[in-house]
Amino acid sequence: MKILIPTLEYPPQIGGIAQYIVKQIEHWPDRSDSFVVCAPIDNHTADFDKKNSWITYRLKFYFKFFWPRWLRLLWQVNKIIKKKKVDKILVHHILPVGYIAYLNKKLRQIPYYLFFHGRDLGLAFSRKLNKAKLICHQAEKIIVNSQYIKDQLLNYLPEIKDKIVVVYPCPSLSNKNTDNKKLAEIKELINPDHAPLLLTVARFVKRKGIDDSILAFKQILTEFPQAIYLIIGHGEEHIHLQALIVKNSLVNNVKIFSVSRADLPYYYQLADVFVLTPKELPEGDVEGFGMVYLEASFFGLPIVATKTGGVPEAVLNGKTGLLAESGNIEQIGQAIIKLLANKNYARQLGEQGKQRVEMEFEWGRQMRIIVDS
């Protein structure tokens, strides 16, 4: 079977959906299936695309002066479908890719699976002039990344219950190729005095609540004045977060920067606590699950997070980390202090998180759920 994935997010872009698609293909259980990916043009794609066994088309998706702009993507996808004789489409963006899959289902009887990752659900159903309901009804299966997202979808469309399948994302990082010399060099650079080290890895968007974590860090300095907080990522909130650090006189302890995904394991290995404290924003902008929490658990880190969206499914309160109320800066700070002050307890949570990831969150096992459901 030939499977097409038209996607708006794909490496070398950094993000959960981009990584999910790659791992989905690599661990797809039916090896008789082959994949074709249709992804946006990027200036740094050659090396990545060359090493993959599947076909990737890099295209411009939108018309500049024509509405609807996604008609260009429809035209391009239709050409690929004819050329490669596509049998099925996997849709990771209900808008606008869902429109394209819906039209091909109607015109060519090509079935499609629809995936929801979090924010996309609320945005799809908040718009008055869209076909979200029709797209869901025509999907062969609907895959969601948490029980929370399933419940939210059923609030809109209770009649599609039998189509919905919960499939969790899994960690995609490894420490197998760690260079001990490089690890020592990074440690000497960022934390030569062995101070308590907090870590956040995320896209810099409001939903991630990184501003709350920064404000909570002020409490930590009253108990651990040498503590360091590393915030790794990039995004639209970068300037705001940097200004917040300066305003609160935290420039000596809080650092924001980007690293390659290949180097992320070094920072996970050097950290003491992983912190990411999302909050729910209007129009259903909520953390659907949080694959980054599983990555932190994979490296044995205890986690401080918040009770919002699907986060409580990724971080088990009191078992793999501590959950504070969303937006409660004092609770966030106290949770971090508790883990830094009680190393044995922190180590226990980290070890339990690592065991959970190894037992439950393996890509092949999760992808098998899609095929078998």
Q: How far is CA 289 from the centre of its chain?
A: 8
Let me know if residue 111 belongs to a domain: yes
Identify whether residues 19 and 135 lie together within a single domain.
yes
pLDDT tens digits, residue range 53-73?
Answer: 899 988 888 877 778 888 899
Does residue 371 belong to any structural domain of this protein? no
Q: Is residue 316 domain-shared with residue 229, that is, in the same domain?
A: yes
- Asked if residue 172 is part of any domain, the answer here is no
Range of the domain at 285: 180-360
Least confident of 53-57, 129-133, 144-148, 211-215: 129-133
Per-residue pLDDT of 75-133, as tens digits, reads 999 999 999 999 999 999 998 999 999 999 999 999 999 999 988 888 888 876 568 99
Domain boundary among 139, 167, 195: 167
| 160 and 34, same domain (yes or no) | yes
* Residue at 369 is within a domain: no
**Half-sphere exposure in the Cβ direction for 15 (13 Å, CA):** 18
pLDDT at 373 over 90: no
Average pLDDT over residues 39-65: 79
Q: For residues 35-57, give the mean pLDDT.
A: 82
Are residues 228 and 92 part of one domain? no
Same-domain check for residues 33 and 140: yes
Q: Which of 137, 167, 197 is the last residue of a domain?
A: 167
- Whether residues 184 and 161 share a domain: the answer is no
- If asked whether residues 226 and 260 sit together in one domain, one would say yes
Q: Do the domain assignments include residue 286?
A: yes
> Based on the domain organization, do 343 and 215 belong to the same domain?
yes
Per the CB < 8 A criterion, the answer to whether 84 and 4 are in contact is: yes
Enter the pTM of the model: 0.88
pLDDT for the residue 19: 87
> pLDDT for 155-186, tens place per residue?
999 999 999 999 999 998 877 778 899 999 99
Q: Which pLDDT does position 286 carry in this prediction?
A: 84
The tokens describing 137, both together, are 């009804």
149 and 209 both lie in a single domain: no
Give residue 46's pLDDT band: very low, low, confident or very high (50, 70, 90).
low
Last residue of a domain, one of 106, 132, 167: 167
Say whether pLDDT at 283 is over 80.
no
Mean pLDDT, the chain, integer: 92
User: Helices 291-298 and 343-360 meet at what angle, rounded to 10?
Assistant: 110
The number of domains in the chain is: 2
Model pLDDT, residue 44? 60
The pLDDT score that the predictor gives to residue 3 is 97
Decide if pLDDT at 31 tops 70. yes
Q: What is the pLDDT of residue 177?
A: 75
Average pLDDT of span 204-230: 96
The verdict on residue 373 lying in a domain is no
Q: Is residue 207 part of a domain?
A: yes
Instruction: Tell me the C-alpha distance between 265 and 16, whole Å.
Output: 16
337-348 pLDDT, tens per residue?
A: 999 999 999 999
pLDDT of residue 125: 85
In the predicted structure, residue 38 carries a pLDDT above the cut 90: yes
Encode pLDDT of 288-326 as tens digits. 898 999 999 999 999 999 999 999 999 999 999 999 999
Q: How far apart are the first and last CA of the chain?
A: 17
Q: Do 43 and 100 fall into the same domain?
A: yes
In this structure, the answer to whether residues 267 and 348 fall within a common structural domain is: yes
Q: What percent of the chain has pLDDT over 90?
A: 77
Per-residue 3-state assignment (H helix, E strand, C coil) for the chain: CEEEEECCCCCCCCCHHHHHHHHHHHCCCCCCCEEEEEEECCCCCHHHHHCCCCEEEEECCCCCCCCCCCHHHHHHHHHHHHHHCCCEEEECCCCCHHHHHHHHHHHHCCCEEEEECCHHHHHHHHCCCCCHHHHHHHCCEEEECCHHHHHHHHHHCHHHHHHEEECCCCCCCCCCCCCHHHHHHHHHHHCCCCCCEEEEEEECCHHHCHHHHHHHHHHHHHHCCCCEEEEEEECCCHHHHHHHHHHCCCCCCEEEECCCHHHHHHHHHHCCEEECCCCCECCCECCCCCHHHHHHHHCCCCEEEECCCCHHHHCCECCCEEEECCCCHHHHHHHHHHHHHCHHHHHHHHHHHHHHHHHHCCHHHHHHHHHHC
Residue 156 lies in a domain: yes
If asked whether residues 28 and 114 sit together in one domain, one would say yes
CATH number of the domain encompassing residue 322: 3.40.50.2000
pLDDT the model gives residue 217: 97
**How much is the pLDDT for 64?**
73
